[in-house]
């Protein structure tokens, strides 16, 4: 599956909004399927998408990420003491981010405040009509890869229905 067009589309939107990056967080109690949509990684990770198109995935399970995910860079969450705040501060500094970083509306306010403090020369923004709406809109329109997979799933379903019908006729 090719995730680059999805990431490029998001990076273009970030640049048009004068944002340096987006931060998506998938943790227990606060799932974000957009990480899978953008990288293929099934869950439990942080994802930084920079306006340049660079993606930095910080998964809980580095081995799983290395076999399933497509990102510019994959860094173990343990490198940051398994701390969202430490990871944000380190990546903001390493990438020399100075513009705003958008987080999803699911971000709890106390975490938002901590992120803002950790962002250094950047700031963190959280908008009701921001990245959540943009990504939801992207996901509604299926790309060629998704359409191909949906068609294959429908074919498998049809094959199973034929087999089920035959089985019921023979056993009934």
In order of 9, 40, 43, 47, 161, the CA distances from 71 in angstroms are 15, 9, 14, 9, 38
Identify how many contiguous H helices and E strands the chain contains and give both numbers.
7, 6
Residues in contact with 43: Cβ distance below 8 Å, sequence separation at least 6, in sequence order: 26, 31, 35, 36
Largest CA distance in the chain: 72
Phi-psi sector, 21: left (phi>0), alpha (psi -120 to 50), beta: beta
* In the predicted structure, residue 79 carries a pLDDT above the cut 90: yes
Assign 129 a pLDDT band (cuts: 50, 70, 90): confident
User: Which pLDDT value is given to residue 65?
Assistant: 97
Rounded-to-integer distance, Cα 23 and Cα 162, Å: 46
Q: What distance in Å separates the CA atoms of residue 116 and residue 124, rounded to the nearest whole number?
A: 5
Q: Count Cβ atoms below 10 Å from residue 60 Cβ, excluding itself.
A: 17
* pLDDT tens-place string over residues 35-73: 999 999 999 999 999 999 999 999 999 999 999 999 999
Q: Which segment of 80-89, 141-150, 161-170 scores lowest on mean pLDDT?
A: 141-150
- Whole-number percent of the chain with pLDDT over 90: 88
pLDDT given for residue 82 in this prediction: 95
Dist. CA 172–CA 103, nearest whole Å: 57
Give the mean model confidence (pLDDT) for residues 76-104. Answer: 96
Q: What is the pLDDT of residues 145-158, one digit of tens each?
A: 888 989 999 999 99
């Amino acid at each position: 599956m090719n995730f680059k067009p999805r990431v490029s589309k998001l990076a273009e939107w970030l640049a048009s909004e004068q944002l340096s990056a987006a931060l998506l967080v998938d943790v227990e109690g606060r799932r974000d399927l957009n990480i899978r949509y953008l990288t293929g990684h099934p869950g439990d990770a942080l994802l930084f998408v920079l306006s340049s198109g660079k993606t930095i995935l910080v998964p809980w399970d580095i081995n799983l990420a290395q076999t399933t995910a497509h990102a510019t860079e994959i860094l173990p969450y343990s490198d940051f003491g398994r701390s969202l705040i430490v990871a944000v501060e380190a990546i903001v500094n390493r990438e020399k981010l100075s513009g705003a970083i958008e987080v999803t509306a699911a971000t709890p306010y106390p975490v938002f405040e901590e992120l803002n403090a950790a962002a250094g020369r950047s700031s963190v923004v959280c908008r009701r009509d921001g990245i959540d709406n943009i990504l939801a809109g992207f996901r509604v329109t299926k790309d060629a890869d998704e359409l191909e997979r949906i068609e294959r799933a429908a074919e498998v379903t049809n094959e199973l229905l034929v087999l089920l019908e035959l089985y019921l006729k023979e056993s009934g």
